Structure 1
C-alpha cells in the first residue's frame, strides 16, 4: 500500500486517475441524458432559463433562482431554438408547452444540450471533491472520494438531468471548501472568494440560504482553541472580512438578477409565507428600509416557503401521509443507497469516533454539521418528494468515507481491511441499471422492480420513460390504449394515441400506468389534446391487484385487463368486504 500511495502522490498519476473516473461519469451521464425522456420539473426549467436569457426578465417562474436554468439554456443561443414567447403564467408547465410547440422537431435535442451543461457541473464538482479530500487527507483518499462520487447512482441520476439538484450539491461543497480555507487563513482574498461562491449558490436554489449559518458554525469549529491556526487577526479585522464576504455575496446575488428591482422597501411586498409575513409586522419606520436583495428573488423565496408549508401527500412503504414522515429521508437513504456505500458509512463513523486526535474530531464536526442540519430540516418538512432534496449531503458523506482507503492494513487490521475492500468492489454493481439511475433501489429493498412499494415521485417515477412507451407502442401497435402518465410532457405530442382510464373501477382494455399513480398519487393528467384533468387520490389503485404484462423502464407498467381479471378482482373485493364486516 505504501508504494501505491507514493505513486498516486505524483501529480500526473493523480490527475490521470481522477480524470479517468470523471470521464466514466461523463460517458454514463451522456448515455442517460440521451435515453431518458424529459422529466417532470425539467419540462419548464430549460424554457424558463431560455426566456431569461432572451428577455432579461426573471418573473416567468420565480420558484427557483435563475442561474442554473440560464446556464442550461446557454447552448440554445447557438441554435435555432425558439422560446415560443409565452405569456406570464402561474402554471410553469405552460412555458414547456410553448417551447415544445415552437420546436416540435428539435426539442428533445435542446433538452439534451441543457442536460450536458449540468453534467459538466458534476465533473467540476468531482474535481473540487478531489482537491479538498487531498488537502484534508491524502492523494489516495482523494481518488477514492472521486470513485465514490462516480459510482453513486443518485449522483449519476441528477447529473444527467437539467435540474438544480446536482448544481446545488456542487455549490454546497464549493462554499464549504472556500469557507474552510477562509477559516484556516482569514485573508481578504478568501473572504472575497467565499462571498462570490456563496452568492452563486444563492442564485442556484433557495436551500442555499442555510449556507450562511453553516459558514459561521464552520468558522467556530475550525478556529476555536485550535493549535493548528497560526494567524489570528484582531476582532475588528475579522468583522471587516466577514463584511466583505457577505457584501460580495449580496453583490453577486443582485448581479445575477441584473440588479432588477433591488433595494425595495418591505411595505412594497405582499408576503404569503409565515417566515416573511413577520416583516410586515415590523414598525412602520422599519418597513420603509430598502431590502438589499432583488424583488424576484425575495418573491420566489416567499412562494417556495409558502408551498413547503402546505400539506402535500407523501408516500412511504405503502402509506400516504399529508404532513410527511419524520423518518422519510432515513428510509430513503436506507432504500436508495448501494449497500457497499452504506457499509462504508458505518465503518467510517466507527473509525472517526475511534480517532483520539482533536483535529480529527474538528474535521468530523465540520463534515457532519451540514449532513445533520439538512437531514433534520428536510425530515421536519411537509413536502417530501425525493432523495434529491437532501442530495447536498452526499459530498460530505463521501468526505467522511474517503480516509478509509488509507486505513487498509491487511497485516494489523485484516478483517476491517477486507470488509472495506469488498464494499468498495461492490459499488460498480449499481451501474448495471444504467441509464435508469433515477429509479435505483438497492437489493434488500427489492431493487427498482419493487421500488414503488417503498417510494414514488422523483425517487423512481419522474416521467423519464415516455420514450420507452413510445418505442413499445411502435413495436406493439394498440388502437385503444388507456394512459395515466406521471409527467409534464403531453404524450399526445409524441404521437401517442390514448384516452384516460376509468376511475375507481376496472374496465377491460390495455393500459399504461405510471407507478406513482398506481400507488395512489393524486395528479393532473394530460388528455390526448394536451388539456388537463385532475385525478383523485388512489383513483387507479385497483391496478395494484393485477400483474403487469410489461414494465417499461421501472416507472410505467403495461396491463392487459380481461373480463376474467375483473371477475377475480370483484371476488377479491367482496371477500375483503365480508371479512371487514365479520366480527
Structure 2
C-alpha cells in the first residue's frame, strides 16, 4: 500500500518558489546594473578607504563618526586588488585625516576608482538581498507565504532601498542587523529557537552596533519589549535574558575592534562614539521646501516619508493601520476596556507579534522627530522592514477572506512596484511619488541624499561627450569630476568638494551669470551647503533647464547679453563688483585675467578693462603703464586699457614658445653703488598653457656665483591668453660686500623646476 506524502506549500503552488527567486534576482540585477551607472557619492570614498586601512594596516585612528564593521565589509573585495596603494606614511595618514587620505586613496595614487567603487558596493548589495530574505522568512512564520511574498516585494522594489542598497555606507548593514536582533528575540519569546535564538539576537545587536551608532535605539526597543513580555508573563525572565543578548553583542563589538582593551574594551568603537557625539553637537544645515534651518523640523521625516515612499505602498500601509484600529476596536467591544489586549481568534496577528513589528518602527520614528540631522530618507531605512511586514501580515486576513481576488491584488501591487523600479532605473536616489508634484517640481522639496548625493557625474560625462560643450560646474560631492573626463570651469561649490576654484579666483557673479552652459547639482541650487553663498544660484531656480541628468544635475544655458569684455582683476572677484562697475562693463561675457599682486600689470590682446578691489593699487613703478585715469573712482576702480603697443626692441627672446621677453628696464641705474636692484621686464604671451610657469632674475658675480635672486610671477598663468602683454617688477638685493657682474632673466616650470630655454644675460646698468 502506498503512503501519501503531505503536501508542502511549495507543492501547493509550484511556481511560488520561482516567484520568490525572480523577485530576488530582479532586485539584484537592478542594484548591480544601476551601481555601474552611478559615480561615487559623498561618503563612499571615506568609508571604503577606512575599511581598507583597517583590514590591511590595522589603522583605527581615522575617526569617521561611524563604527568599523560596515566599512570593513565593503573593503573585503577590494583587498583582492593586487596593486592597491594606500597613503601610508604621508602627513594625512599620520594625522588621521580621513577626508584627505580617502581622496588620495581613491583619486590621486593611481588606483582604479571605478573598479574599487564597484567592488566596495557588492557587499552592500549582498546584505540587501539577505535583508529581503530575512523579511520573507519572518513574514512566512507570522502569516504564511503570501504575506511573506508581499512584504519582501514591498521592500525589494522600494526605490529607497534600491538606491541605498548599492551604496557604500552603514545604512543597509545597520538595517539588516537591527532587524536580525528583533527577529532573534521574537524567536526566543515564541519558544522557537531557545538559546540559539538569543545568540542570533546578540549577534545582530553587536553587528548593528558596529555598523552605525543609531543602532543604540535597539536598547530602548528591546527594553520596551522585555517589559511588555515580563508584564504579560508575570516573570522577570524576559528582562534578565536581555543581559545575555547584551553580553553576546558586547563580545561581537570587542571582536570587530580587534579585542582592543585600551582605552576601553572595544578601542576605536568608543573613540568614534565620542567623535560622533561631538559632531551632533555642531549645527547642520537642513533644507525643506525652500526653507533652510540648522535646528531641523520635527515634521521633516514624516514629510520625507510621505513624498518618497511609493504610493501603492503608502495605500497598503494605510489600509493595514485601519485594519489594526478596527481589530483593537472590536476587541474592546467584546472584552471591555479592562482587557484591550485580548486576542481575537481570527486576527491575522496577535498583540504580541504587533509589538515586535511596530515597537521598533515606533521607537525609531519617534527618535527621528527629535533629530536635527535632517538630511535623508536613508535614516528611515531601519523602519521599512518592520512597516512592510506589519502591512503584509495585517492584510493577510483580507487575502484569506477574499481568496483569489485578493491574491491578484497583491500580485498587481508587486507588478506595479517592479515595473516602476525598472522604469526609473538607474535613478533611484531622486525618486519621489506623485504627491511631490512630478519631476518638474519634486526637486524643490528636499535636498542632500534625498535627491542629490553626487551620484550623476557619469551622466554629465555622457552628456558632454554627446554635445561637446564645456560646462560651468557646481557639484555636491567628493569625487573628482576630471576623473570622469568632464571638462569644466568650477563654480561655487560645497567646501570639501575637490577641484574647486582657487581662493580669490572665482569667476561666477550671482547677479550677472556669465554666458555659457551651467551644470548645477540640485543641492547647490538649494544652496544649503554653500554657507554664506546660499543664494549663489537663486537666478537659476526659476529657469527651465535644458537637460536633467539622472535627476540630480540640471543643465542650463545662459545667453550672451553683450559683446565679450576682457578684464584684468586685482583683489576682487566678479561677484564683488558694485553696481557702477557692472553698469560700466555692461556684459555677462567676461574674459578675466588675474593679477596675483600689485607687482605685475597686464594688457589683454584686444584691450579691455582693469578693475581694482578696495585698497588695491598697481605698484608705483608700474603706474605709467596703466596709461589712463580711472573711469570709476570709489572703493573699487575701473580703468580702460588700450591694446598693447608693439615692442620697438630689436632682440626679442622667446622661451619655449610660451613667452617672449620684449624689453627690460633698470629702475636702479647704478648697481655698483647699492646692494639692491629694481628691474622691470616686459613680456608677450605666445601661447596658453597649464604649466605653472615662473620667472627668475639672478644676480651673478664675476666668479659665476649667484649672489641674489628673485623668483615668481604676478600674473596668473592659467588665465592669460595668447597676444596679451604684461610687465613684471623685480626687486631684490645681495650682501653689501658683493657686486654683481651681470644678471640672468629666464623662465622655468614651477612644478618640475625645468628651465624653459636659455636665460637672457643683461649687462649692468
TM surpasses 0.5:
yes
Cα 1:516/1:401, change in 2 over 3 Å: same
Cα 1:354/1:504, change in 2 over 3 Å: same
Pairwise mapping of residues 195-274 of structure 1 onto structure 2 (< 5 A)? 195-222=202-229, 224-225=231-232, 235=236, 241-262=241-262, 264=263
User: Where does residue 194 of structure 1 map in the other structure?
Assistant: 201
Higher strand share: 2
Q: What's the secondary structure of 2:514's corresponding residue?
A: coil
Pairwise mapping of residues 400-419 of structure 1 onto structure 2 (< 5 A)? 400-404=390-394, 406-408=396-398
Selected match of 2:75 from 73, 77, 102? 73
1:84 has 2:87 as partner? yes
Contact 2:175 2:208 in 1 (8 A): no
Cα 1:212/1:544, change in 2 over 3 Å: same
Separation of aligned partners in 1, 2:261 and 2:438: 49
Q: What's the secondary structure of 1:558's corresponding residue?
A: strand
User: Where does residue 31 of structure 1 map in the other structure?
Assistant: 33
Listed as ranges, the gaps of 5+ residues in structure 1 are: 227-231, 265-290, 524-533, 567-573, 575-583
Query: More deviation in 464-473 or 177-186?
Result: 177-186
Selected match of 2:99 from 87, 93, 97? 93
Contact 1:75 1:114 in 2 (8 A): yes
Higher helix share: 1
User: Where does residue 131 of structure 1 map in the other structure?
Assistant: 137
Selected match of 1:434 from 425, 428, 452? 425
Selected match of 2:275 from 303, 316, 326? 303
Separation of aligned partners in 2, 1:111 and 1:535: 33
Q: What's the secondary structure of 1:35's corresponding residue?
A: coil
Q: Which has the higher contact order (CA 8 A, sep 6+)?
A: 1
Pairwise mapping of residues 325-404 of structure 1 onto structure 2 (< 5 A)? 325-355=297-327, 356=331, 358=343, 360-404=350-394
Cα 1:374/1:404, change in 2 over 3 Å: closer
TM-score of the two chains, using structure 2 as the length reference: 0.63
Separation of aligned partners in 2, 1:63 and 1:565: 51
Selected match of 1:113 from 85, 107, 119? 119
Matched length: 517
1:259-308 alpha-carbon deviations (Å, 9 max, x no partner): 2244x3xxxxxxxxxxxxxxxxxxxxxxxxxx5x4232112112212222
Selected match of 1:443 from 434, 444, 454? 434
TM-score of the two chains, using structure 1 as the length reference: 0.82
Q: What's the secondary structure of 1:179's corresponding residue?
A: helix
Q: What's the secondary structure of 2:443's corresponding residue?
A: helix
Q: What's the secondary structure of 1:395's corresponding residue?
A: helix
1:91 deviates by 5.0
Separation of aligned partners in 1, 2:240 and 2:547: 64
Contact 2:150 2:410 in 1 (8 A): no
1:364 deviates by 1.9
User: Where does residue 275 of structure 1 map in the other structure?
Assistant: none
Listed as ranges, the gaps of 5+ residues in structure 2 are: 1-6, 332-341, 344-348, 492-507, 564-578, 580-765
Q: What's the secondary structure of 1:437's corresponding residue?
A: coil
Query: More deviation in 353-362 or 117-126?
Result: 353-362
1:128 deviates by 0.9
1:49 deviates by 0.6
Contact 1:188 1:241 in 2 (8 A): no
Contact 1:60 1:88 in 2 (8 A): no
1:6 deviates by 7.2
Contact 2:174 2:207 in 1 (8 A): no
1:301-337 alpha-carbon deviations (Å, 9 max, x no partner): 1221222232211111121122101110110011101
Contact 2:324 2:394 in 1 (8 A): no
